[in-house]
Chains A and B, each alone.
Chain A
Amino acid sequence: MRKKIVAINSDHVFAKTGLGRNAKELVKYLLPLDKYEIVYYASGMQWGNGDFSSLPFKCHGALPDNPQELQELQRDQLKMRDAAYGGANIERFIREVRPDVMIFSNDSWAFPYCKKPWWDKFGCILHVTLDSLPFLPDQIDQIKNSKHFRVWSDFAQKESEKLGCNHVKTLTGMINRESFQRLNEHARIQLRFKNNIPIDAFVVGFVFRSQLRKELRPLMEGFSMFKRQNPEVRNPRLLLHTNFSEGWDIPRMAREFDIDPKEILTTYICRNCNNHEFRPFSGQDCDCRFCGAQKSQVTCNVVNGVEEKSLNEVYNLMDCYCHLMNAGGLEIPIVEALYAGLPVATVGYSSGEMFTEQPFVYPIDFSWSVQFGTQFKRACPSAYSVSKFLKKIHAMSVKDRIELGRKGAEWAVKTFSPEVVGKQWEELIDSIPFTDYDFNFSYKPKNSSFPFPEIEQDSDFITALYKNILDMDELPSGEGHKHWAQILKNGGKRRDVYAYFIKVAEDENRKNTSVPLRELFENNGRKRALFVLKESIGDHFIFTSFCKSMSEKYPDYDIYIAADPKYHEVYAGNPHIKRVIPYLPIMENELNFIGAGSNEKLVDVYSNVGVPTQRILNYLSNGYLPSPESKVPVGIPAS
């Protein structure tokens, strides 16, 4: 019996992102089971990246290998983003891999696929980080149009249920627990001693990317408040494991809340020897005391990060962990802090909700705000609540803290550990049958050239438009049919309705017809000449005067003209032209066609004739123009 083919689309397994780490754990769980053939589709990597060959499973990248195609994508940031998520090669991947199950794990906007013809024809599992309310219309569409919809936290599941979507289930991120545990008290003291942190210090920690979603300000304000209200606290410290050059201006915030810079600790890592230490922030590019390298120490970041074992040291320096955010898909550091047996506080919104529902996690009070633009609700944590949490933990005996941490660790292991979540994935994958889909999801073009039908009854006229142009069987009782019938009844013109249907067909065809370039040309062994002229009708009319010359100059060639579809009819019946093909932006670049480097040669002669008239104007003054002083002849035939 063949193995079930399981494809996974997410950040690359080696990416040091939450998605990448989750995907790595998932693959690590599934591979040894030996009942699946794993094929990976890595976001942000090129299709044939050389590093993939060393992986124990097949892997392709989401981005095209062809540098010209990449260049085209880079011209448009949005297109590039979609391509990096997977949009550019997804259909190629699916056609080649023919998965039984495919897991799409990322933010919801990474997968605008739910209306694709192949969606849910095999086991498509959306595993997305819905973290903000209200859900966007596209997200609701995704939920409603996906059989297997999984979210990273139960917050999103509950919200989906409120929308009547009970098929949405929670599958949390898989978070490695091997490296994270509470060290014994002796080891913890040694760790402080090694890093010149007073043994009796009260250390509050936060591990985060210094970005908008993270609420550092209330933490610092709450810490400052806690110090003021409890002057007896000896050696309070704030350990911020983050990059001080990114996002929030931490030193400035410290000044604002009257926090001594020496009280703010951070993790420094040496770019040269990779050794790390914890000490107060003293700027970037410091000299390393371990290897002596100059200006090599920086606060940790996504490029220079500590290993997971060292990250466990970070947590073990802390007495409690306070993770403040205004929303988030799943905050992995909270789970790591729980694994490390720390008393934890966070905000009960978004993924934070599943933590604050637990009796051992302290809920930080918050108010609401709304994000400009998206209108997403955002939590604003209370500094006063932070200070209360700190006071509570400080007043707690070490024994009680350990007991609280133990409960949290137990729950975290049961909820997030790879063996638990991996089992849930395994059950889900096994519940999905082998696919018998033929993976033939080529788009059936709409008939945008259907002639205007002369039909007596309005109802029959509308049905004919639906059937013959859009290939739809719309009954007279259907909403669309009723809509058009009403318009015609109210005096709307049939010609206008017809024109609308034709436009929809043309738009649909344009949107869905992404034929490989080679398929635009007839494969008959003859040489090809391609003339590119995007628009417009006058230019094409003039250009017809060259068609005969083309066939005389290139008698052994098939002549192709690339033009916007609405101008194709200019060449109808022209005996010199083999075919008029739709203009595509990629056609602006000759190198995509003439077989430059390892590119496939598609044509033998290429000419982008519109360059001087439509792209970079270079013809207007290179000939006669009247000078500003001259009197323009009016009414006199031009010579």
Chain B
Amino acid sequence: MKLAEAYSLSSALPIENKPSMMASFTPLPFDRYITIQTGAGFPSKQYSYYNAVIGLIQPYLDTHGIKIVHLGAKDDEAVAHVCDYRGLTTIHQAHYCVRNALLHFGNDSWMAHAAGSANIPLVCLYGSTSPSVHGPYWKNNDSTALLESHRAGNRPSFSASEQPKTIDFIPPEDAAKAILKLLRIPHQINERTLFISPFSCQKITEVVPSSIPALLAPHLPLTIRMDLHFDENIMAELARRWKISIITNRPISHALLQSLRPQINVIHFEINESFDLDYVKSIRKSGMQHVFFSKRSGEELRQLRIRFFDIAQINAFSLSTRADFAEQCGKYLNKKLDISDKFVGLKFKTNRLIFKDDSTYLSLSHLQRGIKNDNIGGHGCIGEVIDDDLFWSEMGLFHVFEQCEKTSDAL
């Protein structure tokens, strides 16, 4: 039964009225807007891909002069390119905003009930909970889309935390299409997500230190890929102008690191034979944030760990493979995939950019093949999937999708 029915039963009171909570007038500098809420009572109820959804709908909303108002607590997950009112409204002001929105989009939380009871079009996402129990009791069925995860065929866990979060099986394009459909906005969204990693939404800027790229924005934290090109001078020059993290597979002068210390966030050392025990010891004692890792596995990794036993803990960094992609993709779509399929014509989105000289690249595989990226979008860049081992080894940074011929939900 729904929550309202449960409360009716336990209080012996009839369900005769809609919820009534004060809504305090809140002046917004625009009339046409939708509201979103990324927070919810439990982590398992919080969808991870709001950025991906917003990235899909924003061009259409912009065309129609519709803003996106982000409501909720100040610690709720942030979303790029929205009017951020997190932590700035009282509950009554947030209520007002929802009641005057063109649509509300969010997780299973009170604002969904508020939107439903005010007959505001609603798109709401459910993973650990179920719309049949926790969905709004009051709503306009014609303008409500309660999107439920397939949960790999399982029932809702009703659990506060899940690993992985079942709500994340809902494809961002489904939410985007539902929003645009309820707003009656025609669209051309024709992508179908096959795999999406939470890191695909995270802005990461990597620089191959063969030169100092001209296009780098100031104040951007950089990751210097000394493992791709080892040049201490350029690394030092970059560190003088930007805060940096470093990935290296060769020892970097300890004195240089110490001199740049305030500018260094963390150093990732890919440990191999070029590192001696004293160097690793000195890094450990330096107080700099550092991680030791190795891409090796099995006996090779064991030998490496024996060598550095008592000095450093070497984390295994397992490279993902084409088979991993097929498995993850199968889980996401809730169907078995044939790994022998050629993954042709697939596209991917990422927010990680690799800068080398004056060009940018979307993956190591693209860098290796010299395939430059020629667009930088607000919600990530799109490129063609390259079906090789190097590309799949970085799949944890990608949102992979296919483009269908027809836009099934386009008006």
Contact = CB atoms under 8 A, between A and B. Distances in A.
B92 A546 contact: no
Nearest to A536: B41
A570 B24 CA distance: 12
A542 B113 CA distance: 7
Interface in A600-639: 607-613, 617, 619-620, 622-626, 628-629, 631-639
Given A542-B19, A612-B9, A623-B2, A569 B158 contact: no
B17 interface: yes
A613 B135 contact: no
B264 to A, nearest CB: 20
Contact of B132 (A495, A547, A638): A638
A623 B6 CA distance: 10
Contacts of A542: 3-4, 7, 19, 113, 137
A624 B133 CA distance: 8
B17 A623 contact: no
A556 to B, nearest CB: 16
Interface string B128-162: 00111101011001101111111101111010000
Contact of A607 (B5, B6, B10, B21): B10
A166 interface: no
Interface in A551-579: 553, 569-574
A622 B150 contact: no
A538 B112 CA distance: 9
Nearest to A631: B150
| Candidate in A539, A545, A573, A623 with the most chain B CB atoms within 10 angstroms | A545
B156 to A, nearest CB: 8
A635 B174 contact: yes
Given A538-B110, A633-B148, A638 B6 contact: no
B20 interface: yes
A518 interface: no
B87 interface: yes
A553 B16 CA distance: 12
A637 B15 contact: no
A433 to B, nearest CB: 52
B3 A613 contact: yes
A538 B109 contact: yes
B7 A625 contact: no
Contact of B155 (A571, A625, A631, A635): A625
Nearest to B149: A632
Interface residues of A, number: 51
A183 to B, nearest CB: 68
Nearest to B4: A542
B22 interface: yes
Interface string A302-340: 000000000000000000000000000000000000000
A632 B145 contact: no
A537 interface: yes
Contacts of A610: 10
A550 B8 CA distance: 11
Given A541-B114, A549-B13, A613-B7, A632 B92 contact: no
A569 B130 contact: no
Contact of B11 (A531, A633, A635): A531
Nearest to A544: B19
Given A545-B18, A607-B11, A569 B141 contact: no
A625 B131 CA distance: 9
A257 interface: no
Contact of B15 (A540, A545, A635, A638): A545
B162 to A, nearest CB: 16
B140 to A, nearest CB: 9
A533 B174 CA distance: 36
B150 A619 contact: no
A56 to B, nearest CB: 54
| Candidate in B10, B74, B90, B151 with the most chain A CB atoms within 10 angstroms | B10
A484 B41 CA distance: 31
A573 B150 contact: no
Interface string B81-110: 000000100111000000000000000111
Interface string B367-381: 000000000000000
B3 A638 contact: no
Nearest to A608: B10
A541 B113 contact: yes
B218 interface: no
A608 B156 CA distance: 26
A623 B5 contact: yes
Contact of A634 (B12, B114, B174): B174
A545 B132 contact: no
Contacts of B133: 619-620, 623, 625
6 contacts: A545-B4, A549-B16, A574-B22, A620-B133, A634-B147, A634-B174
Interface of A: 495, 531, 533, 536-550, 553, 569-574, 607-613, 617, 619-620, 622-626, 628-629, 631-639
Given A547-B20, A612-B6, A632-B150, 15 more contacts: A538-B113, A539-B7, A542-B19, A545-B4, A549-B14, A570-B21, A571-B21, A572-B92, A611-B10, A619-B133, A625-B155, A634-B147, A634-B174, A635-B174, A638-B132
Q: Which 10 A-B pairs have the closest CB atoms?
A: A623-B1, A619-B6, A538-B110, A545-B19, A549-B13, A544-B19, A609-B10, A537-B110, A624-B132, A541-B110
